[in-house]
Every structure is written in C-alpha cells, then in structure tokens.
Amino acid sequence: MQARRAARELALILLSQLDKKNTTYSNADFEDIILKSVRILTNSASEELKLTVGALLSMKDFVENYETDHEDNIQRPIGVANIPVPLPMTSDITGRIDEMIEIAEKSLSALEIAEVATLGSKAEVKNYAVLIAEKFKENAEFVDAQIQKFAKGWDIQRLVKMDKDILRISIVELLYIKDAPMKVIVDEALELAKKYSTDESSSFINGILAKVILENGIS
C-alpha cells in the first residue's frame, strides 16, 4: 500500500475521533490519536482474521459432513475412507467464500496500513495524516461551509459522518495542501467511500468535490 493512501486512511480514522471542538487539539494529540488508530486497526484486523478462520473451519466441517452423509458413503463399511462426492449448488459455496474473501481483504488492508505506518514510511505517513488534521483544524469553518453549500437539501450535521470526513480530507488536500494531482485526490476519496461508507456515497462525494473544484478554480 502506498504511503500517501495509508496516510489518508489514518487521517480518516483520526478525524472520526475528533469532537466538535477540534481547535483544541495539538500536534501531540494528533500523533497520539494516530498511534491509537494503528492499534485499533491491528486489533480489528486480528479479530476479523479470527472470524475468517472460524468461517473456514465451519465450511470444512460442512464439506466433511456433507461427504460423510452422502448416499455414496453412508453405506460404506465403518473404518473405510469416504470417497469424494459432488458438492451442492455452487451458489451455496461461492456465497460463503465471497464473505470470507471480503473479511480477509479488509483485514489485510488494515494490516498494510499499520505496517506502512510503523515501518520505513512511518514519518511520511504520520506527518501527512497530521498535516491533513492540522489544515482541517485551521480551516474547519470554511471546509464545512463548502460541504454545506453543495450538499443540496442536506444539513451538514446530518450527513453520514464517514462521508463528511472523507470530504473534509479531500477538500483540505485540494485547497490547502495541493501536493497531489486533483484527479488522484478525487479518486482516492471515492475509494475511501467505497471501502468505508454506503453504496450511494461515491456519487454523492464525487458530485460535491466536482463543485468544490469548479468553485475554487482548481485545475
């Protein structure tokens, strides 16, 4: 995982833990929250991997029991090994496998973020996540005003918190950091939305960012 992508995900976790009085936080506070966030990620990944292992064991039991109870094996002598038998509907199996793959992918992603944040790219990841938080702290009123302006018919206080924080990160990068191409920032915001928020979030976030870009003459 790229260091900058890991930094954005850490910044998302960081912003999610700030209260409304975000101006009271110091750099040390941000760094402490990031450290705790990495611990949360690794603990979450560990728990999700345990769920995956449990699901795999459950599937193994299902297959073994299905084989044992199949009519081709139920009449075989005791002590004689079972013979392989056809599995039931493929949709039954693939559905379970898809669920485990999704859990495993989230776990691996969390571990990658933690790894990038704690190994060679530690300074870059931490510093960029803190920079996003600092710039948001300094410009929170304007950033939120931009979201409110283009969120038609929505009160910013009632927006999905994850969507709001993804927009905050992207707008901060677009307006105050300007260290990555506009397209990259937008694409990364959409990836965060797909990964962490609702099915409708990507188009909602894309629409607001497009208007922010046009409003502020970003190219």
- Segments making up each domain of the chain, as ranges: 3-215
Who wins on pLDDT, 141 or 113?
141
Taking only the tens place, the pLDDT of each residue in 140-186 is 999 999 999 998 777 667 778 899 999 999 999 999 998 889 999 99
Residue 112 pLDDT more than 70?
no
What DSSP assignment string belongs to 90-140? HHHHHHHHHHHHHHHHHHHHHHHHHHHHHSTTHHHHHHHHHHHHHHHHHHH
Q: What's the whole-number mean pLDDT along residues 99-124?
A: 65
Who wins on pLDDT, 32 or 144?
144
Band (66; pLDDT cuts 50, 70, 90): confident
Return d(Cα 81, Cα 103) in angstroms, integer: 34
**By percentage, how much of the chain surpasses pLDDT 70?**
84
Query: What confidence score (pLDDT) does residue 108 get?
Result: 66
Q: Look up residue 156 and give its DSSP letter.
A: G
Residue 50 pLDDT more than 90?
no
Return d(Cα 151, Cα 208) in angstroms, integer: 7
Band (29; pLDDT cuts 50, 70, 90): confident
This prediction's pTM: 0.68
Query: What confidence score (pLDDT) does residue 22 get?
Result: 66
Return d(Cα 92, Cα 75) in angstroms, integer: 26
Report the 10 Å Cβ neighbour count for 108: 14
Residue type, 37: S
Who wins on pLDDT, 169 or 45?
169
Q: What is the mean pLDDT of the chain?
A: 82
Query: What confidence score (pLDDT) does residue 119 get?
Result: 47
Residues 183-190: contacts with CB within 8 Å, 24+ apart? 185/209, 186/210, 186/213, 188/4, 188/5, 188/8
What length is written for the chain?
Answer: 219
Nearest-5° Cα angle at 109, 106 to 111 = 110
The verdict on domain 3-215 having CATH code 3.40.50.620 is: no
Q: How far is CA 23 from the centre of its chain?
A: 26
Which residue has 């996540």 as its token pair? 129
Return d(Cα 160, Cα 197) in angstroms, integer: 8
